[in-house]
Copies of this chain bind each other. A is one copy, B any other.
Amino acid sequence: MIKVGIIGATGYAGQELVRILLNHKEVSIVWYGSRSYVDQNYADIFQNLFTLVDAKCMDDNFAELCEAVDVIFTATPQGYLAGLLTEEILQKVKIVDLSADYRIKDVATYEKWYKIEHKSPQFIGEAVYGLCEINRGKITNQTRLVANPGCYTTCSILTAYPLVKEGLIDVDTLIIDAKSGTSGAGRGAKTPNLFCEVNENMKAYGVASHRHTPEIEEQLGYACDKEVCLNFTPHLVPMNRGILATEYAKLVKKPDGTYPAEAEIRSAYEKYYEGEKFVRVLKPGVCPETKWVEGSNYVDVNFVIDDRTHRVIMMGALDNLVKGAAGQAVQNMNLLFGLPESMGLELVPMFP
């Protein structure tokens, strides 16, 4: 049994880790960390887990925690893990970090977009960006630190990846218009996240400034081996879970003056995702819907070619708390411990 500790267990992503790991047969959660609820029964906060979890919330005692567990999930605010991570910790436990602290390789970029100083840049190089479908080979039992990708990022990258990688689209024209359910905004008690403020409402936010932008750019940059600079616009939508990314790019004209057609684009998607359990390339003409992946680790992707504008419209949908956070974190944990990648993640999407 892998002993697991969770820091930030009372946020939405933390609680989703609990939901998933309770049905993971090789895992035992031994530490429910939550500074806000120390000594309270975890199941008093999340009544869904009543009779399923019998444990109290613990303070963030990393020294003690390191001795008690094999792996720590940090579902914490930006800067938290960077502020306390040490070589000693990494020698004792593996860490899957759900925050952004080790996702971006360039410290200056991190500090510019996150507006905080990075306190432990020495570990950035070692951290593996845990987008399993792309970086699977780098996540092994030798890996100590996984930077679990962001929710928007996972959706945005996987939706465009095959076409970027294959050079089928002009990345300079790439625009990502993303929409998210409200659990992505976290569980903090803020007026803008109240039911009556969100319900029956829709808005863009963080326009041209959202922190997931450089993360997407960096990863797509690796795919096409050049610097990527794109527009990413997130939107808040009145639903609990789900991210939908609609992405636009010009198709690259071929030497003969034609543009890639449906079959060629589809081949590219199949080339990268045919064996991928958690990426479903939908049938032609079917648009991804967030409801079809809710509660599961799937990403549904598809595309439409517009012959009039020679653009391809790519679409991807995932559950921000599963494939966009906790599910992917478990996928990474499985790889870290040499378990089947999908163990504990055989979650059938719930409808309606």
Q: Which residues in A have some Cβ–Cβ distance to B below 8 Å?
A: 12, 15, 19, 22-23, 44, 46-52, 173, 175, 177, 179, 181-183, 187, 189-191, 193-205, 207-208, 229-231, 233, 235, 237-242, 244, 246, 248, 280, 282-283, 286-296, 300, 304-306, 308-309, 311, 313, 315, 317, 346, 348-352
In the complex, the answer to whether B313 meets A205 with C-beta atoms within 8 Å is no
Residue in B closest to A198 when the chains form the complex, CB atoms: B195
A-B interface, 8 closest residue pairs, ranked by CB to CB distance from nearest:
A48-B349, A201-B291, A196-B352, A208-B306, A203-B289, A195-B198, A177-B177, A47-B292
Q: How many copies does the complex hold?
A: 4
- Complex CA gap A181/B199 in Å reads 11
Is the beta-carbon distance between A48 and B351 smaller than 8 angstroms?
Answer: yes
A52 CA / B296 CA spacing, docked (Å) = 12
Contact of A194 among B44, B189, B295 (CB under 8 A): B189
B244–A204 touching, CB < 8 Å: yes
CA A262 to CA B165, docked complex, whole Å:
35
Q: Are B187 and A189 in contact (CB under 8 A)?
A: no
CA distance A191 to B188 in the complex (A): 7
Contact of A12 among B15, B309, B352 (CB under 8 A): B352
Q: List 14 A-B contacts (CB under 8 A).
A: A19-B348, A19-B350, A46-B351, A47-B300, A48-B291, A181-B202, A182-B199, A194-B194, A195-B199, A196-B240, A200-B294, A202-B289, A204-B313, A207-B306
B280 and A51 form a contact (CB under 8 A): yes
Report chain B residues within 8 Å CB of A350. 19, 48, 295, 350
Given A179-B235, A182-B195, A189-B190, A291:B200 Cβ within 8 A: yes
Q: Which residues of B contact A22 (CB under 8 A)?
A: 348
In the bound assembly, the distance between CA atoms of A182 and B200 in angstroms comes to 11
List chain B residues, Cβ under 8 A from A183: 196, 352
Q: Which B residues are CB-close (under 8 A) to A283?
A: 44
Other A-B pairs beyond A48-B293, A202-B237, 14, CB < 8 Å: A44-B283, A47-B292, A49-B349, A50-B280, A50-B292, A175-B175, A181-B202, A200-B291, A201-B290, A207-B287, A207-B306, A207-B313, A229-B309, A238-B239
